Amino acid sequence: MKILNVVGARPNFMKIAPLMAEYSRRGDIRATLVHTGQHYDDKMSDLFFGELGIPKPDINLEVGSRSHAVQTAEIMKKFEPVLVDYEPDVVVVVGDVNSTIACGLVAVKLGVKLAHVEAGLRSRDRTMPEEINRVLTDSISDFLFCTERSGVDNLLCEGIPEDRIFFVGNVMIDTLLKNKAKAEDSDVLKRLHLDGNDFAVLTLHRPSNVDDAFVLGGILDALEVIQNDMPVVFPVHPRTCKTLASSSSGERIEKMLNLRQTEPLGYLDFLKLMSYAKVVLTDSGGMQEETTILKVPCLTLRENTERPITAEIGSNRVVGTDPAKIIDAYRQVVNGGWREPGTPPLWDGRAAKRIVDILLDKL
């Protein structure tokens, strides 16, 4: 079987890694990896490939950073001749970035089967570009692989035929479980002068948080309080870095002496950092899942989540961006008001095997 796999951005790398490893264990699969180049700097791309043992991409489209429309169009233009040349049996896309929907559209219009890994997740917030990508990709996919039961329910409600939907678990967790012991060798805590687990980790990258001065100001109000209690490590996303450099928010952050800005970290460094944190504050989707397995309290700085299982089992609290609510939730966590969660069904490190088994059986 010929499988053409697509990645484009950092979250995709963690999802494709266990699939590429599983393909290599099978003698009846020819797997090709296409990197669209949606994320292109070393910290967001090349470093992750090396750490996760992902083979060098067979093709790099080198699209780079553009507006949503231009980036999606450029990916489609460059991916089409690749698809025509390789003639795969199936195209596998992961996650919810522009590369996901762009390559998915090209595949189905050329009559190639499409598999979507991490299907069915819904935030119900159409202002999120990722939500649009998720809904559209699911609507055209032939194989929809779900990480949690809510994904199955969402797809059925949207009229997706049941025989296309497969509850397989979470490939992100496959990667985490495989690399957790290796991450222990990281010296990131020493490099950042962190002692014990009395520190917080912060990530911010969503436009709704970093591009809106009022919303970002409220988050910074909360951070001023939290960083007075404990160090807050803040690996700054390239998008966020640009926003901070061109606004007064950057000056506010510089005055927070216990808020430690770093460049984006590699996967193993960041996994070690999260593992030892007292609390994680984030607007990321994947980190809600990772902290669930790491048993680290997560406060999601959004009004919604497309990963409701993390909130249902109590590992994640969706606190929004109101500074009073953020501070209140933070204080509950540090004062012991957080119960250790269980583990969601099938988050056991075997999702990639289930996916490959299904593709081999159905195709």
Q: Which residues are catalytic?
A: 205
CA 60 – CA 237 distance, rounded (Å):
22
* Cα atoms in the 13 Å half-sphere on the side-chain side of 257: 1
Crossing angle of helices 323-334/213-229, nearest 10°? 30
Selection from 77, 124, 117, 125 nearest residue 97 by Cα: 117
Selection from 194, 255, 261, 247 nearest residue 228 by Cα: 255
Q: How far is CA 56 from CA 47, 48, 330, in A?
A: 11, 11, 41
Are the C-beta atoms of 292 and 120 separated by less than 8 Å?
Answer: no
At 138, which amino acid appears? Answer: D
Q: Which residue has the tokens 């429309």?
A: 69
Three-class secondary structure of residue 2 per DSSP: strand
